[in-house]
Amino acid sequence: MDWIPTISEFSGPTYRRIVDAIEADVGSGRLVRGQQLPTHRALAKTLGVDLTTITRAYGEARRRGLLDARVGRGSFVSETTARRVVDMPHPVAIDLSMNVPPHPLEAQLEERILQGLETLRRTFGLTAFLNYQPPGGSEPELEVAATWMRSRVQHVRADRIVIFPGTQAILFNLLPYLARPGEVVLTEALTYPGIKAAAARTGIRLAGVTMDEEGILPDALAKACHDLKPKAIYLIPTLHNPTTATLSSERRAAIARIIVAANTILIEDDAYGLLNPSASPIANLIPERTYLAATLSKCITPALRVAFLVTPNASARHEMRGCLQSAMQMAAPLMVALVTHWLETGVADRIIAAIRNEASGRQQLAQRTLKELQFFTKKTAHHLWLRLPAECEASEITANLLRNGLAVIGSEAFTVNGRAPHAARVSLGAARNRAELTHALQILVRTLRQPASIRQIV
């Protein structure tokens, strides 16, 4: 057997000591994601215990999210154990603050990374990607990206795309290109903290526009355009961060008309679009006025640092390539090559489908666990928007959750102007597995059930 647990250093019943040994070996790296464990009978024989002890231990390990059982194949270290517990910053035991995609077993992400890099090595040699590359992507890479994106962005062409190392890099380069310090860019009243950071760094003034459960209100947007004369409008129309609001086709059309009438520009953040592919980007209605940012951070993994910026014309594309080159030269060539291979062969679509399916499963889990609470979400979103009790500030509640080992993000991080609502974003994809997510949501429910004066968990 490749792995034999050392259980003598643990206390308690034998089955629990086996589980503790599995957890320790996952934490130390002795067991790695996807590694197959011995069969029940083989491990029972090696340890000199009865078969029911191993069965109980493996069952408990699955409950904790350490193992996955594959019918007819055996037990494997969970593919969704994305971070070792020992790596989590103290005192956070479960971190649901970062909005990242889950990595289910079906996505086969580690295997596909290794297979993809091996294919690149055999086909091109990895040294081909270890030097400077054209800023914004090579022609073959851009052609593949355009072909892949065309199912969502009908007008896209290779000579309108710039490949950036993430959406944040796009925003830091695009904002000062469209607006000068002191000029206004409109956003939803609640928005992605990254645009707030980019605006603060560049001296651009953000103004939030009123929203409802569907998203930004067209009448409020029209009034803000009339009053403030914005240089651009930044929107997340699909699975909005943080509220998950998704604009209807009718409201998208109304917003497109407002943008044209105001003679301004749309920055459309399509980070979550591939999780809800039936929602057509506003860019399809006004391509000549839209910069569309499509990242793989939310539908595959943020570690790739690959995002596509679709520009409205050739001149804008030339300017954005120049901005990229002067600021950071290029996205990492090896990661771009890997992504290009995945896009071309259909691997990316299979990974995205698996992640979308896992997101749906986690949302169903949240619906069951949080049934007593009020929250807003969508079927395939990685997060939900949770209403908090009105008698306490959101910051007080999130701080209290943190004392109980659970991190979520309060509404202050997303509020553009005015008073922050009593709400928090809970990122379901950030849990290492569904067992950890269940535990985290149970902490959330128990904490919010307590009176404000004693809202603590013992």
Closest CA to 170 of 335, 326, 324, 334: 324
Residue 402 pLDDT > 90? no
**Given this model, what pLDDT does residue 176 score?**
95
Angstrom distance (rounded) from CA 406 to CA 294: 30
CATH topology of domain 1-78: Arc Repressor Mutant, subunit A (1.10.10)
Q: At what angle do helices 347-369 and 333-345 cross, to 10 degrees?
A: 90
- The proportion of the chain whose per-residue pLDDT surpasses 90, expressed as a percent, equals 72
Which CATH number describes the domain made up of 132-345? 3.40.640.10
Angstrom distance (rounded) from CA 27 to CA 331: 32
- HSE at residue 209, side-chain half, CA atoms within 13 A, is 26
Angstrom distance (rounded) from CA 298 to CA 355: 9
**Given this model, what pLDDT does residue 82 score?**
41
**pLDDT band, residue 68 (cuts 50/70/90):** confident
Angstrom distance (rounded) from CA 442 to CA 54: 28
Answer whether 1-78 and 82-127+347-458 agree in fold.
no
What b/e string do you get for 79-116 counting C-beta neighbours within 10 Å, with b at 16 or more? bbbbeeeeeeeeeebbbbbebbbbbbbebbbeebbeeb
Task: Please give the average per-residue pLDDT across 413-434, as a whole number.
Answer: 91
More confident residue, 276 or 92: 276
**Given this model, what pLDDT does residue 452 score?**
52
Report the mean per-residue pLDDT for the chain: 90
Residue 387 pLDDT > 50? yes
- CA–CA distance from 75 to each of 65, 71, 141, 294, 358 (Å)? 12, 9, 39, 37, 20
Contacts of 295 (CB under 8 A, 6+ apart): 166, 167, 271, 306, 307, 308
Summarised one tens digit per residue, pLDDT across range 318-374 is: 999 999 999 999 999 999 999 999 999 999 999 999 999 999 999 999 999 999 899
**pLDDT band, residue 3 (cuts 50/70/90):** confident
- Superfamily of domain covering 82-127+347-458: Aspartate Aminotransferase, domain 1 (3.90.1150.10)
Enumerate the domain spans of the chain. Answer: 1-78, 82-127+347-458, 132-345
More confident residue, 191 or 90: 191
Strands 307-310 and 375-376: unpaired
CB atoms within 10 A of CB 164: 31
Beta bridge partners of 325: none
Angstrom distance (rounded) from CA 299 to CA 174: 23
**Given this model, what pLDDT does residue 81 score?**
52
Helices (H), 179-307: 193-202, 218-228, 249-262
**Given this model, what pLDDT does residue 398 score?**
82
Vertex 275 angle, CA 410 and 342, to 5°: 120
Q: Which pair of structure tokens corresponds to residue 187?
A: 């956003």
**Given this model, what pLDDT does residue 420 score?**
87
**pLDDT band, residue 1 (cuts 50/70/90):** low
The DSSP H or E segment spanning 115 is helix 109-123
**Given this model, what pLDDT does residue 79 score?**
62
Angstrom distance (rounded) from CA 219 to CA 169: 31
- CA–CA distance from 337 to each of 295, 330, 342, 348, 365 (Å)? 15, 13, 9, 13, 36
Summarised one tens digit per residue, pLDDT across range 337-347 is: 999 999 999 99
Summarised one tens digit per residue, pLDDT across range 273-290 is: 999 999 999 999 999 999
Closest CA to 233 of 199, 268, 284: 268
Task: Report yes or no: 70 and 34 within 8 Å, Cβ to Cβ.
Answer: no
Q: Which pair of structure tokens corresponds to residue 67?
A: 């193992």
**Given this model, what pLDDT does residue 90 score?**
39
**pLDDT band, residue 458 (cuts 50/70/90):** very low
**Given this model, what pLDDT does residue 173 score?**
96
Residue 457 pLDDT > 60? no
Q: Which pair of structure tokens corresponds to residue 389?
A: 């009790």
Task: Please give the average per-residue pLDDT across 80-87, as a whole number.
Answer: 46
Summarised one tens digit per residue, pLDDT across range 222-266 is: 999 999 999 999 999 999 999 999 999 999 999 999 999 999 999
**Given this model, what pLDDT does residue 382 score?**
97
Q: Which pair of structure tokens corresponds to residue 343?
A: 């896009």
Summarised one tens digit per residue, pLDDT across range 166-216 is: 999 999 999 999 999 999 999 999 999 999 999 998 999 999 999 999 999
* DSSP per-residue codes, 8-39: TTS-S-HHHHHHHHHHHHHHHTSS-TTPBPPP
Q: Which residue has the tokens 């998203």?
A: 215
List strand residue ranges (DSSP E) for 156-204, in order.
161-164, 184-188
- The span from the first CA to the last CA of the chain, in angstroms, equals 41
- CA–CA distance from 258 to each of 195, 204, 208 (Å)? 22, 22, 16
Contacts of 250 (CB under 8 A, 6+ apart): none
Q: What are the helix and strand counts (H, E) for the chain?
A: 14, 17
Q: Which pair of structure tokens corresponds to residue 338?
A: 């890997």
